[in-house]
Chain A
Amino acid sequence: MKKLLETIELTKNKILNYKMDTPVGTKKMREDFHQKAIEGKNNLICEEENKISLLRDNVFEALEKRFDNIIPSFSIKDNNLDELNELKSKIVLNDDTLDIIHRSGLLQIDAMFDDFLDNDLGIINGLITKYINKYKKMGINLSASDFNYSIFTSTYMNSFFEYYLDDDFNNKIKDVFDKVYWECPNITVHLKLCFRDIYDKYFKIIKSYVLSQNSFNSLINNYNDMYSNYISYNYDTRVIIERFFNDELKIVDFLDDSMRRKTLLDKFLESGTYSNLSDDGIKNYYDNIFNLNNTLIELNNFNKFKGIIDLLVEKFNKRNGAKKNYDLKLKEISKENGNRIKYIKAYNKNLKPGMFSKYDESKDKKYKSLINDSINRLDSLYNELDDLNLLCKLEKLDDSSTIYDLLKVGYNEFKFSDNNVSDGNNMSDLFDFIYCPNNTFINQISISDINNVHDIVFKKCDLLNIKINREDLDNLDGILKELDDILVIYYINNSKIDFNTINQLYLINNIKKTVNK
């Protein structure tokens, strides 16, 4: 190789010093000389280009071959997201600490219905289909007769079932919706309350279906396995290498002579340096790092859902007397439901007059309006009832209940949490937090200590001889990134590859990216 590089240097000099002009001869002779020199120099360059390009291609091939020989394959399979979501739904269905409506999956559709009340008709119809399918799964075949909640739900759902299998379903149902909508702009609210009514009607069957599910423990074990697989997958050697390839990790920070690597490994030690640790010391060091990492992931989740936690604490402090108010609200609802049924009967009677009465158009309008007003009142009453239902559940807790107990109540009240979850998070994230097998402090810290969580975590670190500043806990993203880097070092040190080799793979991969552009 040395000889080749020397030859290249010589050729470079030859090109740089190529004689392009002559001072002697006539103008014509000098022009001819110049023209020939251009030709000669360019020919030399072209020959070199062809030769060197070919050689470079061969070097690239040799590098690719080495790359393929060295790079490890993925040893852990990533979790299948659909499988994971299916498992989460099953856990909810089997979790006997949750309400029947939540376990059945109907509450989740209710929450979506609330979100899309003023939305596209296609979405509303999609949600109605979801309801119908969910009921079917529980052995209940809904039909048009289940939708007599109001004259408008009845009209709409009669057509819904009539056109359901029609190729032109969307256009036909849109025409029906438009007609109903002008008479009842609140049709979606009517449908929402109609599904609430249907739930009450079939409650016994739903309950018996839900209670027949009792494999919570084995499902949780599966979930825990999938969770640890998710953690292991992130630190699989090949996955770590891919993280270097996409520049999520910077290889210069991990090489043996990297200053950052040294500072990072010493950062959490109360005294001394990482390089001076004994074998036992190193083992203890990483035990602490894993512990700290789990605790700070939990703290990070706690911060993410602090908004919901604070709202729950606020409601927890107002919980007294909730059950009494709940019962009163139920009575109000029952009375208003009686009104609704009475108005519907009167409306139908007017529509089909008997021998001694006749159809009265003004009564038609009057009863439609009364039905609408009654359903609007019921909508408000049910919202108040839902709020009281949350308070009733909080009434069962006391100051010694844990953050976990509080969050579980919040999660059980799916619609409340769905509405109050902060931007960037969703109910699936809340599930992951609550059911995370690595949680420690949320299951131990009581509601009364909720505002001291950061101090308690800080003290725990102190007890574990982990050096950490109190302010570090306010910048968890930064410290979690550092811990992740230390874990990368741990896992690579325990693999068959080292950082110098990863650096070589990284450089070859960059060449591959350029060549394949």
Chain B
Amino acid sequence: MDLDKLSIDELLTLYDSLSEYLIFLNENKVNENSEVAEDEEAA
């Protein structure tokens, strides 16, 4: 994507969207010790 062709408003929107997406990614990381769903129910 050629950023030079984007307007300031578009760049700002893009920056916000990417920031939100990075937060989403961080929140959706899975703990490596998480257990199988069935086991959790059994517990």
Contact = CB atoms under 8 A, between A and B. Distances in A.
Nearest to B8: A504
A8 interface: yes
21 contacts: A1-B1, A1-B13, A1-B14, A5-B17, A20-B37, A21-B36, A21-B37, A30-B38, A34-B35, A38-B34, A45-B28, A52-B21, A59-B3, A59-B14, A60-B15, A62-B11, A63-B12, A63-B15, A66-B11, A504-B8, A508-B12
B22 A507 contact: no
A4 B1 contact: yes
A16 to B, nearest CB: 7
Contact of B15 (A12, A34, A49, A56): A56
Interface string A486-513: 0000000000000000001001100100
B30 A42 contact: yes
A59 B38 contact: no
Counting chain A CB atoms within 10 Å of each CB, which of B1, B9, B25, B35 scores highest? B25
Given A12-B24, A15-B28, A42-B30, 10 more contacts: A4-B14, A20-B30, A21-B38, A34-B36, A45-B25, A49-B25, A49-B26, A55-B18, A59-B15, A62-B11
A16 B25 contact: no
Nearest to A35: B32
Contact of A53 (B9, B22, B28): B22
Interface of A: 1, 4-5, 8, 12, 15-16, 20-21, 23, 27, 30-31, 34, 38, 41-42, 45, 48-49, 52-53, 55-56, 58-60, 62-63, 66, 504, 507-508, 511
Contacts, number: 82
Contacts of A56: 15, 18-19, 22
A58 B3 contact: yes
Interface of B: 1, 3-4, 6, 8-15, 17-19, 21-22, 24-26, 28-32, 34-39
Given A42-B30, A59-B11, A31 B36 contact: yes
Nearest to A37: B30
A138 B4 CA distance: 67
A20 B30 CA distance: 10
Which 3 pairs show the lowest CB-CB distances between chains A and B? A56-B18, A62-B3, A34-B36
Contacts of B10: 1
Contact of A48 (B1, B17, B25, B30): B25
Given A38-B34, A42-B30, A8 B11 contact: no
A4 B15 CA distance: 12
Contacts of A20: 30, 37
Nearest to A48: B25
Contacts of B19: 56
Nearest to A33: B36
